[in-house]
Chains A and B, each alone.
Chain A
Amino acid sequence: MSVLHRVRSKPALTLSLVVVTAVLGVGLLFPVSQVLLTAFSPEGLAAVESLVGSSADREVVGNTVVLGLCVAAVGTALAFLFAFVQTRLDVPFKRVLHVVAVVPVVSPPFALATALVVLFGRNGVISQGVFGVPYDIYGLDGLTIALALSFFPVVYLTLVGMMRRLDPSLDEAATSLGAGRAKVFLTVTLPMLLPGLASGFLLLFVEAIADLANPLVLGGDFTVLSSRAYIAITGEYDVASGAVFSLSLMVPAVLVFLLQRYWIDRRKVFSVTGKPTGRPQTYRGPVAMTAYALAVVVALLIVLVYATIGYGAVTAVPGVNNTFTLAHFDFVLFGIGSEAMVDTTVLAVVAAPLAGLLGVLIAYLVVRKLPRVGPLLDFVAMLGIAVPGTVLGIGFVLAFRSENLVGGVTVIPSLVGGAAVLGGSVGIVVVLLIRGTPAAVRAGVGSLHQIHPSIDEASASLGADDSTTFRRITLPLIRPALLAGLTFAIARSMTTLSPIVFLTTPDTKIMAAQILAEVDAGRFGNAFAYCCVLMAIVLALIGLVRLAVRDRAVRPLVVLPAAEMPVVEPALVGAVKE
């Protein structure tokens, strides 16, 4: 069949493929390729030389790796601790622990970091105030705590899912063969969780080294690659160095992404048996109680941190002048700060549904329509999240600061900087779209894999064409996935910092960037008020989405056996926060 014939026989498929390719090409591949080109230009190569040659820059690389390892280790341990308590202990307040553990998912960047500064900083309410210790949280220790607390929830959710699905009869089999509780745990449970733990570790490593918000607030003298790239671009106007720094982040990020996708995900399938048949036995004794106590302490810390945010938002100068005031909220809601609130919300409301739809469309193409190029399309879409935010941000600056001309005709107008269309908001929406799509793709792929292909075939055999089938059968069936994708896209669009911080203009203000400015200026109260408002908006939007896309209790009838279901959605994990 000729290409033309295919186009003519499947117009809807062709159109959607063109749209998807255009969005991913312009919004992702083009800017990333610009970063690559710049890094390999003469100035870029000079920057590489200095990166290798200068001991200061070498230290930055070392710092980044150390931070990544610390966060990965602590975060994985925390995630496992909470998952263990949740699934294997019979203790009170498990539900509360669960909620507390998931709270950081919806919180904006800086929230944790800033609260930690207030609590444990040089004039910390707790370190100085309670214990009288002049503890300095800035640096590796503070960053590790902040990043681990921010990112562990998603790994925790993954592990809980895995541990719930482990067939208890395997434990029972081991027990009946004479193994004690500890032996069963070490020889049966743990080995089966290894892929999940490994992927969580890798994910946390990548998240940690790619994060920009926390190093800017909590880094102190401890500079890492992402903050170095940010300083190079915004402080030194050295785009080439910025490109090189951020690229050196991209290499491990993409490697880990590949490892996860082509190695760990494959192994995961074998680690889970079919339908769980019994209830897992619970652990008791001193070890179990120690685990519970630890989890409670961490949960209390999280509660303390979020209480601090709320408290700080209504306090004149948190930790110093504890007078009650609504000035911060006034600033954010009605003052100069309200501009950012409105802009951020509008942009998120525009970008998130687009991301959800695009993601589900890509998932549909990948799973059902394009057996051969599907995996490639999936891969490219997922790069949207695998590529560190700094790389994407710098790529946008490089690619879209000036308008793109082909043969003297403007193909893409300027999207970044002072002359950008609509004050740069178009560029921001595209970035949010690229960042929000992967979560929707994963959710969509996961739920499409659970719908037996014969459902589609039944529709076709009754006379429906592809687009009718998609509209009337597929879309309603994957509505929960669409909802999940939308939720993630909203949370992400509202809280994302690293790519956006390069794109904001005086005309278009973003809350995350405003929080950074307020923290920098030491106005913690305003920052906390922003955090509260941001979280409130995110939760309100998510609530609205759930209301609008209300789910009739529909149970997919034709599903694959449990063993074939994608158990863990690692990319969802990455998609929640950066």
Chain B
Amino acid sequence: MADHHVGNLVLTDLVKRYENTDPAARPAVDGVSLDVEAGEFLTLLGPSGCGKTTTLRMVAGFETPTSGTISLDGADMLRLPPNKRPMAMVFQSYALFPHLSVFENVAYGLRIDRVRRARLEEAVEIALTSMNLTGLGERFPHQLSGGQQQRVALARAMVVQPSVLLFDEPLSNLDAKFREQMRREIRLLQRRMGITSLYVTHDQAEAMSLSDRIVVMNAGRVEQVATPAEVYTRPASVFVGNFVGRASFLPVSGVVVRGGRGGVSVFGKEVEVAADPGVGSSGVVMVRPESVVVSPVFEQGCGVVRSAVYLGAGVDYEVETDQGTVLASVGDPDVGGLLEEGTKVGLEVDASRVYLLPRGGGGGGCLASCWCSPPLAEPGPRCAIVSMPCPHLSRR
């Protein structure tokens, strides 16, 4: 199955404005441009309603863009109906044909292409084997588990050797264990076959573990296109930093950025950190909870533990400081030594783990002076900045 064509998919200024909506309102997809390289696994990540699924459906041909172009290896895709586009889609609901056996489901696309019988049977068998579905060909979809159904859906899409594979949240109907297993299998299979893949999900862990590059979308626009590591450590906006993983955002002012670095004060210590080129004189410092070191002895930065949540593998603390509330997660905790709520603690962070961002950038709906619990459950500020000096913080 290695003789298929690998496609280069290019989206240019794609806009989708649904009819019957307020013309003044923002379009569902608002000027998305992407270049999915041949063989690349690209994931569209964002909260529900950010336009990621609409974008995918426009690529598949199930939605017609209001403007913009979609091309595959230079050929205009918008002129083609969905069934003529050399792509195959894997659906969230699996969309297996309930009246056809597993074999016939997988063979469906080949029968449409009028593939000769011997070749068809061989191709279907190979596809079933590669998805660990050997011996299930005669079963009907309702006789399979959710994981098996999704494998059939995957086999059915792969067997037609599409230039591009499209995934619409294929794992969100599976339970957590299966999901991780399928994640690995999809990754392995895609690497092995090298099919250009466009994957939609709202699950950042899925996006991180599968993708070559992630496209973080928000309100119909692209916020950032980057590798998983870059998205996590160097988010282009507070929104991205918030949506991918958890983080605290501490406001800073009077910053001077030079050569991609800026001097800021974090936890009462002056440090020089990596900075986004868009940062002006004020910005926000992003600190990931796992980078924060919490100690009962406070020397420099300090705060008061406001909540401590024991999670088994770690403890999540919310620490109130004069720069705002800071999230800190401590791995492999000593059960006897958990810090109680109200304890004064010292905070430290390695400057290389801190990133300076423009304030409020990216229209994330979240002020820089607050932290938001991912995935943006509450848009408003959750806490006010405590402006009292440290030693006077009272115990509760």
Contacts and interface: CB of A to CB of B under 8 A. Distances in A.
A552 B99 CA distance: 8
A555 B82 contact: no
B142 interface: yes
Given A476-B99, A557-B141, A558-B98, A460 B93 contact: no
Nearest to B149: A557
A457 interface: yes
A463 B112 contact: yes
A552 B101 CA distance: 12
Identify the interface centre among B96, B99, B141, B156: most chain A CB within 10 Å of its CB: B99
Contact of B93 (A454, A464, A472, A552): A454
Contacts of A458: 89, 91, 95-97, 153, 156
A455 interface: yes
A454 to B, nearest CB: 4
Contacts of A455: 95, 97
Nearest to A473: B97
Interface in A459-483: 459-465, 468, 472-473, 476-477
B81 interface: yes
A554 B98 contact: yes
A134 interface: no
A482 B108 CA distance: 23
B92 interface: yes
Nearest to B144: A557
A556 B88 contact: no
B109 A462 contact: yes
A410 interface: no
A557 B94 contact: yes
Contacts of A54: none
Interface residues of A, number: 24
Contact of B83 (A463, A557, A558): A463
Contacts of A368: none
Contacts of B62: 457, 460
B87 A9 contact: no
B36 interface: no
Nearest to B98: A557
Given A461-B82, A557-B141, A477 B98 contact: yes
Interface in B140-176: 140-142, 149, 153, 156-157, 160, 166
Contacts of B87: 461
A478 to B, nearest CB: 10
A464 B160 CA distance: 12
A180 B98 CA distance: 45
B115 to A, nearest CB: 11
A476 B97 CA distance: 10
Interface string A249-290: 000000000000000000000000000000000000000000
A457 B82 contact: yes
B113 interface: yes
A476 B108 CA distance: 14
A96 to B, nearest CB: 33
B50 interface: no
A452 interface: yes
A554 B97 CA distance: 10
A511 to B, nearest CB: 38
Contacts of A460: 61-62, 81-83
Nearest to B92: A454
A560 to B, nearest CB: 10
Interface in B71-129: 81-85, 87-89, 91-99, 108-109, 112-113
Contacts of B61: 460
Nearest to B84: A463
Contact of A462 (B81, B142, B156): B156
Given A455-B97, A457-B89, A461-B89, A555 B109 contact: no
Contacts of B166: 461
Given A457-B89, A477-B99, A555-B142, A462 B112 contact: yes
B325 to A, nearest CB: 39
Interface in A432-469: 452, 454-455, 457-465, 468
Interface in B217-262: none
Interface residues of B, number: 33
Nearest to B109: A462
B372 interface: no
B143 to A, nearest CB: 10
Contacts of B149: 557
A557 B112 contact: no
A457 B85 CA distance: 12
A567 to B, nearest CB: 21
Contacts of A477: 97-99
Contact of A558 (B82, B94, B140): B94
A476 B100 CA distance: 10
A558 B96 CA distance: 8
Contacts of A9: 81
B160 A558 contact: no
Contacts of B98: 477, 554-558
A366 to B, nearest CB: 19
B59 to A, nearest CB: 11
A442 to B, nearest CB: 22
Contacts of B95: 452, 454-455, 457-458, 558
Nearest to B62: A457
B45 interface: no
Contacts of B85: 461
A52 to B, nearest CB: 45
B200 interface: no
A462 B99 contact: no
Contacts of A454: 91-93, 95
B83 A464 contact: yes
B207 interface: no
B307 to A, nearest CB: 35
Interface in A537-578: 552, 554-558
A554 B156 CA distance: 20
Contacts of B112: 462-464, 468
A249 to B, nearest CB: 38
Contacts of A461: 60, 82-83, 85, 87-89, 157, 166
Given A460-B82, A463-B113, A558 B99 contact: no
Interface string B21-63: 0000000000000000000000000000000000000001110
Nearest to B57: A457
Interface string A214-241: 0000000000000000000000000000
A369 to B, nearest CB: 13
Contacts of A459: 97, 108
Interface of B: 60-62, 81-85, 87-89, 91-99, 108-109, 112-113, 140-142, 149, 153, 156-157, 160, 166
14 contacts: A457-B60, A457-B91, A459-B97, A460-B82, A460-B83, A461-B87, A461-B88, A463-B113, A473-B99, A476-B99, A477-B99, A555-B98, A555-B142, A557-B141
Given A452-B93, A461-B60, A463-B84, 10 more contacts: A455-B95, A458-B96, A458-B153, A458-B156, A461-B87, A461-B88, A461-B157, A462-B160, A463-B160, A558-B93
Closest 4 CB pairs of A and B: A462-B109, A458-B95, A454-B95, A461-B89
Interface of A: 9, 452, 454-455, 457-465, 468, 472-473, 476-477, 552, 554-558
